[in-house]
Amino acid sequence: MIDERQLISVLQNGIPLVSHPYAEIAREINSTEDEVINYIQLMQEKGDIKRFGLVVRHRKLGYKSNAMVVWDIAEENVDALGQCFGQFDFVTLSYRRPRKLPDWPYNLFCMIHGQDKEDVKRNLKLMIKACDVQSIQHELLFSTRCFKQRGAIYIHSDKTDRVAV
């Protein structure tokens, strides 16, 4: 039997760049290559794995600017607008989150990327027009400094703490 916790702990750091990466992972967690492959496929089918492949650092690809757009949207419209915003290729996240009144009135969050600030603003205008949300209150929060960016580590071990950031 494969230990899911162990497998995820190794997978979250990425698979090795060697001929038989899944066999190497299997050795690390005392499993077999077939078990590892089957379990990954199972997690893909269940939707626990959203995608599998190259994970790139967008800043290095010329997307120097990113901004979080937050919207204050009436409950009955959140689902439809969340989906509308989520369809653009420059939007990498579209999530509903709780409001925290009075400090924070926003309940829908999108991450928008662009080559520079102007590009991000153009992209936002495109979203506003396409999803017809001219009258909805929103704020654009540009990132000015990145202190840390790497894959999510859900399971902590000595090994994961050595991951380069």
Q: How far apart are CA 145 and CA 60, in angstroms?
A: 14
Task: Give which of 119, 124, 64 is closest to 91, Cα–Cα.
Answer: 124
Whole-number minimum distance, CB 127 to another protein, in Å?
13
Nearer to another protein, 28 or 109 (CB): 109
Nearer to another protein, 69 or 135 (CB): 69
Nearer to another protein, 97 or 125 (CB): 97
Whole-number minimum distance, CB 3 to another protein, in Å?
14
Q: How far apart are CA 164 and CA 13, in angstroms?
A: 10
- What are the structure tokens assigned to 3, written together? 């230990």
| CA dihedral for 144, 147, 149, 155, sign (positive or negative) | negative
Q: How far apart are CA 43 and CA 107, in angstroms?
A: 29
Whole-number minimum distance, CB 74 to another protein, in Å?
15
Nearer to another protein, 90 or 124 (CB): 90
Whole-number minimum distance, CB 17 to another protein, in Å?
5
Nearer to another protein, 32 or 134 (CB): 32
Query: What long-range pairs does 122-129 form, CB within 8 A, spacing at least 24?
Result: 123/88, 123/90, 123/91, 124/67, 124/69, 126/88, 127/69, 127/84, 127/85, 127/88, 127/91
Whole-number minimum distance, CB 153 to another protein, in Å?
6
